Amino acid sequence: MRLDDPALLALLALLVPYLWLLRREARLLRPRYLLPQLSGAPPLTTRASRRLRTLPILSVLRVIALILIVVAAARPQATTVEAVKPAEGIDIVLVIDASSSMETARLSNDETRLEAARRVARDFIAERQDNGADRIGLVMFQRQALVLSPLTLDLDAIDEMVAVSVRSDLIPDGTALGVATMEAIDLLRGSDAASRIVVVLTDGANNVPTITPNQSAAVARATGVRLYTIGIPARAMQVGIGFNELTLIYMADETGGIYFRASDTQELADAYESISELERERVGDEIFLATAELAPWFLLAAGLLIVLEIALRSSWWRRVP
């Protein structure tokens, strides 16, 4: 429950002098008997009647009624969330390195790097599917970049492509990081989404000089595209071994994105989860609320208490002196 105008609760302060007046009135109404004391007679003791002892109940009913009226004036409301969804959609292009090192080297005892990359990417796609407003495109690369899908809302198709088509035997081996990133940026041209991002995952250094990663980062910055980069090192404790980590850091920093280092499957999953949370915070949520006014119920309760007080005062307590 919330109050639409809570400042009106300050009216409750007026009840303090009112309670003082009620107490003073009760003292004035208290009966006093002046009876002579007979010599040798036992002391005269009197006990207030049940009606007199319970008389303050009327004042309590009146005070509660006044409190309910003041709360009703503050407009209490009950709100329930009917729906929560991103205020605007996000356009995302996933760029996945499918080079031979991704297929042969293991990120954990159970999965190769490419198997882990596919699994975590599919989890990321499933989360976007729940939102219903995000479009995803897909680019796979080795020595060349292969656009598997433009931006689409058909995330079931994207999920199927990640599971089946992202493998290392479709194009010549290599690491065309710059070319693949440029292809992803090109997919986002003309997009009017609230946020446009490219998520690049690789375990190697760029070895195709046609377009360098720095050049693609400059284009991304000029077009307002953020690059999130994820690097998988050859060994967890060595920086820059097997890939150019500084290049990935530069690509992210240059475009307002973030670089993530994934030494194991958990860090890889955490990287995608962090990207999801960051982008959700950027676009915000649109929350649909259902509001029900509760003031009539408070006024009804106050009215019933007032009627009860009048009825009791004119019946049970009518003859109180």
In this predicted model, what pLDDT tens digit does every residue of 140-151 receive, in sequence order? 999 999 999 999
Tell me, yes or no, whether 114 and 212 share the same domain.
yes
Does residue 275 sit within a domain?
yes
Specify the amino acid at residue 69.
I
Does residue 320 sit within a domain?
no
Percent of the chain whose pLDDT exceeds 90:
41
Question: The domain containing residue 233 runs over which residues?
Answer: 88-283
Longest Cα–Cα distance in the chain: 126
What confidence tens digit (pLDDT) does each residue in 67-85 have? 888 888 888 888 775 555 5
Q: Go through 109-119 and write b for each residue having 16 or more CB atoms within 10 A of its CB, e for each that does not.
A: eebbbbbbbbb
Tell me, yes or no, whether 124 and 235 share the same domain.
yes
Tell me, yes or no, whether 118 and 198 share the same domain.
yes
What is the structure's pLDDT at 142? Answer: 94
pLDDT at 117 over 90: yes
Tell me, yes or no, whether 136 and 58 share the same domain.
no
Q: How many domains does the chain have?
A: 2
- C-alpha 139/C-alpha 148 separation (Å) is 6
Tell me, yes or no, whether 123 and 237 share the same domain.
yes
pLDDT at 157 over 90: yes
Complete edge-to-edge strand list for the sheet that includes strand 135-141: 145-152, 135-141, 90-97, 195-202, 226-231, 259-261
What is the structure's pLDDT at 301? Answer: 87
**3-state class (DSSP) for residue 23:** helix
pLDDT at 64 over 70: yes
| Region of poorest pLDDT, from 1-15, 167-181, 270-284 | 1-15
Tell me, yes or no, whether 53 and 110 share the same domain.
no
What confidence tens digit (pLDDT) does each residue in 158-209 have? 999 999 999 988 899 999 999 999 999 999 998 888 889 999 999 888 999 8
Tell me, yes or no, whether 75 and 108 share the same domain.
no
CATH number at residue 254: 3.40.50.410
CA angle at 119 for the pair 174 and 246, rounded to the nearest 5°? 45
Tell me, yes or no, whether 255 and 137 share the same domain.
yes
